[in-house]
Amino acid sequence: MPQNIPVVENILSANDRVAGENRARIDAAGVFSINLMASPGAGKTSLIEQTLPRLTDRLRVAVVDGDIATSIDADRAAQAGAGAAIQVNTGGECHLDAVMLHGALEQLEVTRFDLLIVENVGNLVCPASFKLGTHRSVLIASVPEGDDKPYKYPGMYRGVDALVINKIDLLPYVSFRMEYFELGVQALNPGLVTFPISCRTGEGLESWIHWLLERARK
């Protein structure tokens, strides 16, 4: 019978080594970095589009966008005001890994920036396993996805440093029990900092922006 576990462990170990190199490079440049993760359609790019105009007069921001194909997300980030926007096409892979980010960093003059936002591929499984070397991991959950996601994807919710709950303007129109959702989150990640927001109306974005500014300035 094939032995798959050692192979997986070797892959993750090699990835972690490159993630460490990425982190050292980012630290040396004095840049704060986040890994932005979510399922498809939760609002990763929309959050970036709402975040950049609120930061461009205070921070120099670079964006790395991961996707299976196209440069649509990087184009949107550039139009929203990113100082640099690098698209990484994974060629079918369902996540970014440290090697892919390493290649993107090679294209950036990292010392020119204060904040690096990495938009991972839309997926609630694989991105949780592959470290990139960023300082913080941020998960976006959206109200239309349903309130059961912490229970169905515990690995993702357990491993993040901040949670954005997007599309709260839709709460009156969809079946989403916030108390049930938050109960699942707290069971997996007690005290997780959470930002209920709406990218459409702008509600809640001030707290998110303050969190980014506070960490980037440190």
pLDDT at 5: 47
Per DSSP bridges, beta strands 84-89 and 136-142 are unpaired
pLDDT at 138: 98
Taking residue 58's Cβ as centre, other Cβ atoms within 10 Å add up to: 14
pLDDT at 8: 54
Taking residue 188's Cβ as centre, other Cβ atoms within 10 Å add up to: 17
Contacts of 63 (CB under 8 A, 6+ apart): 48, 52, 74, 77, 78, 82, 84, 85, 86, 116, 117, 118, 119
Question: What does the domain layout of the chain look like in residue ranges?
Answer: 5-217
pLDDT at 12: 82
Answer whether 0.85 is exceeded by the pTM.
yes
CATH topology of domain 5-217: Rossmann fold (3.40.50)
pLDDT at 56: 87
pLDDT at 13: 87
pLDDT at 6: 56
pLDDT at 98: 97
Residues 188, 193, 196, 201: is their CA dihedral positive or negative?
Answer: negative
pLDDT at 61: 98
Residues of the chain predicted below pLDDT 50 = 1-5, 7
pLDDT at 9: 61
- The per-residue DSSP string of 12-40 comes to HHHHHHHHHHHHHHHHHHT-EEEEEEE-T
Q: Are 113 and 31 in contact (CB under 8 A)?
A: yes
The whole-angstrom separation of Cα 47 and Cα 63 is: 12
